[in-house]
Amino acid sequence: MNFTLKIWRQHNADSKGGFETYKVEDIPPEASFLEMLDILNEGIVRKGGDPVAFEHDCREGICGCCGLYINGHPHGGFKGTTTCQLCMRKFKNGETIVVEPWRAKPFPVIKDLMVDRSALDKIIQAGGYVSCHTGGVPDANAVLVSKHDADLAMDAASCIGCGACVAACKNASAMLFVGAKISQLELLPQGRIETEERVKKMVAKMDELGFGNCSDTRACQAVCPKKIKVTNIARMNRNYLWAKLKGKH
């Protein structure tokens, strides 16, 4: 398969970027999008050029590093798919593909297609820890958790922190990410104790780092590769409101 790539090139956050056009040929249909970029970079390096910088790690859809804006959609716009899981057979032979980094103020460009997503880590750090005792692993039935709550917590915990929700939101909101990280602990007895302090600290840090408010378009849910639901945002808002009201008494 042959493609024309329009890729955003930018030396750093302070420099002016722009699109550059590349041609790639004989790409196997089963190759992933990142493997296609590897092939592109091999050709650029052979010619003595500067390879396109992009982030990756596990290439198994679980690390969240591979976030790219492809043809106007985070991760390419295919439901439940990260960039590293996106196969080139999803595109038409000869198609022109536009590749950009995340576009959000809290995610400054490091180089080309790489952005600094450490703001998400800072939000998690602000939430602190759970105050459960360390030691031996308790019996599985010692702490009773309903299957409904366990399933919801597991669904929320599947968030990989890729930032697609932020990139898709017109306000660059991180509320789906924060709601998921709060829900995965709040729904379980071990994490429920600090819920009120945790939600206040994480929301405050989110605002401090420059993320916007929820735009209520559900674009975040539509592009999330792990299909995190906006009900986690509602749960976070409810917990935040309750925590603020209790703090006034």
How does pLDDT run across 93-113, given as a tens digit for each residue?
999 999 999 999 999 999 999
| pLDDT band (50, 70, 90) for residue 130 | confident
Write down the pLDDT at residue 126.
Answer: 94
How far is the C-alpha of 212 from the C-alpha of 76, rounded, in Å? 23
Contact (CB, 8 A) for 32 and 125: no
Would you list the DSSP string of 178-193?
HHHHHHHHHTSHHHHT
Write down the pLDDT at residue 143.
Answer: 76
pLDDT above 60 (res 249): no
How far is the C-alpha of 209 from the C-alpha of 116, rounded, in Å? 12
Question: Looking at the DSSP assignment, which residues form a beta bridge with residue 5?
Answer: 22, 97
Contact (CB, 8 A) for 182 and 130: no
Report the chain's mean pLDDT, rounded to a whole number. Answer: 93
| pLDDT band (50, 70, 90) for residue 189 | confident
pLDDT above 90 (res 247): no
Write down the pLDDT at residue 96.
Answer: 98
Question: Looking at the DSSP assignment, which residues form a beta bridge with residue 115?
Answer: 109
Model's pTM, two decimal places? 0.91
All structural domains of the chain, each given as residue ranges with its CATH number in brackets, are 3-111 (3.10.20.30), 118-248 (1.10.1060.10)
- pLDDT tens for 39-76 read 999 999 999 999 999 999 999 999 999 999 999 999 99
- pLDDT tens for 147-176 read 999 999 999 999 999 999 999 999 999 999
- pLDDT tens for 200-221 read 999 999 999 999 999 899 999 9
